[in-house]
Amino acid sequence: MGEPLIRVARAEGITTLTLDSPHNRNALSSALVAELYAALAEAAEDTATRAVLLTHTGNTFCAGADLTEVQAQPQPQVQAQVQAQAKPQAQVQAQDQPQGQAQAQDQPQGQVQAQDQPQGQAQAQDQPQGQAQAQDQPQGQAQAQDQPQGQAQAQDQPQGQAQPQGGQPPTSAPKALATLLRTVVAFPKPVVARVQGHVRAGGTGLLAACDISAAGPDATFAFTEARIGVAPAVISMPVLPRMDPRAAARYYLTGERFGPEEAARIGLVTLAADDPEAALAPVLDGLRRGSPQGLAESKKLVTREVLAAFDRETDTLADLSARLFASDEAREGMSAFLERRDAEWAVRQTPER
């Protein structure tokens, strides 16, 4: 048994879940996701817990997908890990259920959305391994071949690229990410994020799925998908209902990096602070004073539109994500990123004289 990827601490009504996988920038590997589901299920059942605080170690909150574990494991072992994720996830039940039973909010009882679980892995051919990972996909799902492993990945770029297998675009991975994000949105207790590092790729979706968030001075944010020929498809379901539409248009289209004050201004985070831990102290104190029923029902009211987006758009956006990452433009964009060059479509400015 290795070190846990999710550190769990409980004190005074708050369960703190710390993403602790700094070697891959807290990437959404299948092992980390499985531990996150298990920790959420346990927090849902803990009658002493009023809220969950999600935070991180290292200089990155969450970088999105990572394929290193898939590269190192045979296919049957990866499938076993994916199946193991479904069991703890099934315990996270809707907010309208009695406390301690977490099931997906607003879903018919007994349905765990198995169709959205990662069933196997979509692998790409003729792509470098360990480098490109889909921004909208949990880790351990989409794998590329024929690339040297272990090369560093830049903070500002989506990680990964899934290529079609047997001529069909893989959709299981983006649907799996959608299921994870929906689980956080529908969680029957408030989820608060404390961010003191970089947020990219699926990590942006994870942040937006939280109810309240605070970002420290070292936090940075960017939507760089358009620069590699894709779009922030699945993560748009929690992101767009939170963000100012004009700001979303700017940052989706330009890929510019922005800081915590701007993130707070446009609604991606709740607040920016020099000391996010201190800034969240009165927030957590307020949550401690809430009743379990009052918190659950109040959360339903403020997450209704976000959940409606998941119910309405998951299949469409998962298909879009798979199609884009299988495209020639995405292959060129990812190759350009890995080779540290401009993509062939990039318009080069004439230097000023």
pLDDT, one tens digit per residue, over 95-111 is: 444 444 444 444 444 34
Does residue 84 or residue 266 have the better pLDDT?
Answer: 266
Q: Rounded mean pLDDT of 62-73? A: 54
pLDDT band per the 50, 70, 90 thresholds, residue 202: confident
High-pLDDT (> 90) share of the chain, %: 56
List helix spans (H) across 121-227. 172-185, 202-209
Tell me phi and psi for residue 341, to 5 degrees. Answer: -135, 165
Q: What is the C-alpha to C-alpha distance for residues 182 and 339, in angstroms, rounded to an integer?
A: 35
Give, as one character, the DSSP assignment of residue 7: E
pLDDT band per the 50, 70, 90 thresholds, residue 163: very low
What is this structure's pTM?
Answer: 0.73
pLDDT band per the 50, 70, 90 thresholds, residue 45: very high
Reply yes or no on whether the pLDDT at 53 is more than 60.
yes
DSSP for 241-258, please give it.
TTS-HHHHHHHHHH---B
Reply yes or no on whether the pLDDT at 322 is more than 80.
yes
Q: Which pLDDT belongs to residue 102?
A: 41
Q: Which residues pair with 62 in a beta bridge?
A: 199
Reply yes or no on whether the pLDDT at 139 is more than 80.
no
Q: Which residues pair with 122 in a beta bridge?
A: 142
Residue 215 near residue 268 (C-beta atoms within 8 A): no
Q: Rounded mean pLDDT of 169-191? A: 89
Domains of the chain: 6-277+286-338 (3.90.226.10)
pLDDT band per the 50, 70, 90 thresholds, residue 233: very high
Q: Which pLDDT belongs to residue 335?
A: 85
Q: Which pLDDT belongs to residue 82?
A: 40
Reply yes or no on whether the pLDDT at 286 is more than 90.
yes
Pull the structure tokens for residue 204: 């942006």
Selection from 144, 179, 183 nearest residue 160 by Cα: 144
How many C-beta neighbours within 10 Å does residue 16 have? 19
**Amino acid (1-letter code) at residue 328:** D
Least confident interval from 74-88, 212-226, 301-315 = 74-88
Q: Which pLDDT belongs to residue 89?
A: 53
pLDDT band per the 50, 70, 90 thresholds, residue 170: low
SS3 29: coil
High-pLDDT (> 70) share of the chain, %: 69
Q: Rounded mean pLDDT of 214-223? A: 96
Average pLDDT taken over every residue of the chain: 78
Q: Rounded mean pLDDT of 316-328? A: 92
Selection from 148, 144, 141 nearest residue 126 by Cα: 144
Tell me phi and psi for residue 149, to 5 degrees. Answer: -85, 160
**Amino acid (1-letter code) at residue 67:** L
